Amino acid sequence: MNRFRVDGKLALITGATRGIGLGAARALALAGADVILVGRNRFELEHAADELRQIARHVHVAPYDLSDTSGIEEWFNCLCTTVGTPEILVNSAGIQKRGAAIDLSLDDWHSVMTLNATAVFELSRTFARHLIGEKRTGRIINIASLMTAAARPGTSPYTASKGAVGQLTKALAVEWAQNGILVNAIAPGYIDTELNKSLISDPTFDSWVKSRCPLGRWGTPEDIAWPIVFLASPAANFITGQVIFVDGGWLATF
């Protein structure tokens, strides 16, 4: 089973203080990786790091607000100098702004697109520049969504941003395959996370999710975390440019 491990690899995970990001960091640590946790709030990062230090050899925190895309390159360059260049990048940070398309402000649109799509592009290419310059291989795992393939009313910015993530995954995979940088995405179904707290607490919506999903439940961060580890591991050496839906069978039925 060593092909499914990532022993000694350095993994950077964004959105790592909760939900899918924290779940991914935990699973990667259990699979042998050293981890760099990225988020906006240092206190929350340190809290997550304290937990992960019980299972990981090395845990680093790297506070940064990825919505400031103009500073990503300088921040990442400094991080590589102090910690080392990661070989695994998990782009998990994201936000949602719900509302009718005709009512949402352009600021709402731009904030979602900036963090969910533009920051993924900028961080991924900065990561790739380092690996290519050092003649090393690596893995990028993006977090897409059911909204990469479908939509619901009131989710236009999020749906557009996750559609962009799906296509960006393919574009970067094709461009960097020659450099040994594999780029894939996991597209979660409805997951029980902080981002979905308002939906989970709505009895009507909660019932709809459970009745609509063939597996009859919300997913958990752990359900997403282990497929991320698989894509980061040598077991996935011939997989790139894929968007893998981990959705409890959601898209298989109607």
Residues taking part in catalysis: 158
Burial class (CB in 10 A: 0-12, 13-18, 19+), 131: buried
Q: What are 153's two structure tokens?
A: 């009313």
Q: Which residues touch 99 (CB under 8 Å, ≥6 apart)?
A: 108, 154
Encode 93-122: b = buried (16+ Cβ within 10 Å), e = exposed: bbbbbeeeeeebeeebbeebbbbbbbbbbb
Q: What are 31's two structure tokens?
A: 């699979």
Q: Give the residue carrying structure tokens 């969910």.
A: 116
Q: How many CB atoms lie within 10 A of CB 22?
A: 25
Measure the CA–CA gap between 198 and 146, rounded to whole angstroms. 18
Q: At what angle do helices 156-176 and 119-133 cross, to 10 degrees?
A: 20
